[in-house]
Copies of this chain bind each other. A is one copy, B any other.
């Protein structure tokens, strides 16, 4: 796996190296595979060496979750139709979550991400909603509903049959998942827009 170091030689760990190894571990062995000890094993250091670069396992996870969201494309709120802008953000987020299915349970347990990327997304969403005439508590409600919908949709994605359904094949394909997501996303956006129009009238 990794070349042995001669004794006395530094491991040369970095916060980024730790994060990268954690991501690898996650995609290879899933959620249960990500343990501090397995991480240390993979980096060929003692378990406690990790604590020189990461304060705690939870902090490490939060960093990974936020990092994934940094790839979400955020359209300029001033140049885009507000509904299209929100649809773009949520679709992009949902696609990224599907590409990192093993992380989704962590998003749920941690209730989303909380770093700079998540803040950037949250602010863009509020700005778009404001352009649509949605502000105050209604805007936060809509923001919450959209986030719940995106993460929740990504969560209920594995092969485990839902309640009441038998086992029709191997479950929905990725294209089907995306289509289902976009359909329900439209329902939400239409509802939000309708309510906003009613308030303005």
- Shortest CB distance A19–B (Å): 20
Partner of A147, one of B137, B151, B162, B186: B162
Enumerate chain B residues within 8 angstroms of A153, measured Cβ to Cβ. 145, 148
Q: Does A140 contact B (CB under 8 A)?
A: yes
Chain A positions 149-174 with a Cβ under 8 Å from a chain B Cβ: 149, 151-153, 155-156, 158, 160, 162-165
Number of copies: 2
Interface size on A, residues (CB 8 A): 45
Listed residue (A137, A156, A190) with the most chain B CB atoms within 10 angstroms of its CB: A156
A-B contact pairs, 16 of them (CB 8 A): A108-B108, A108-B109, A111-B158, A111-B162, A112-B163, A114-B160, A121-B163, A122-B162, A141-B180, A144-B156, A145-B184, A147-B163, A148-B155, A186-B191, A187-B190, A187-B192
